[in-house]
Amino acid sequence: MPSDSTATPPASGTFTTPPIDVRWGDMDALRHVNNAVYFSYFEEGRVHLFAAMGLGAASGRYGVLAHASCDFLRPLLYPARVVVGMKLLRVGRTSLELDCWVADAGDAATLYARGRNVLVCTDGATGRPVPWTDADRRALDRCFAA
Per-residue pLDDT for 143 more than 60? yes
Average predicted confidence (pLDDT) for the chain: 91
Q: What is the pLDDT of residues 51-91, one digit of tens each?
A: 999 887 778 888 999 999 999 999 999 999 999 999 999 99
d(CA 23, CA 110): 19
Residues 6+ apart with CB under 8 A from 47: none
The full set of domain ranges for the chain reads 14-144
Indicate the pTM of the whole model: 0.89
- pLDDT, tens only, 23-59: 999 999 999 999 999 999 999 999 999 999 988 777 8
Overall CATH class of domain 14-144:
alpha beta
Residue type, 105: A
Residue 10: band (very low, low, confident or very high) from pLDDT cuts 50, 70, 90: low
Question: At CA 12, angle to CA 11 and CA 15, rounded to 5?
Answer: 85
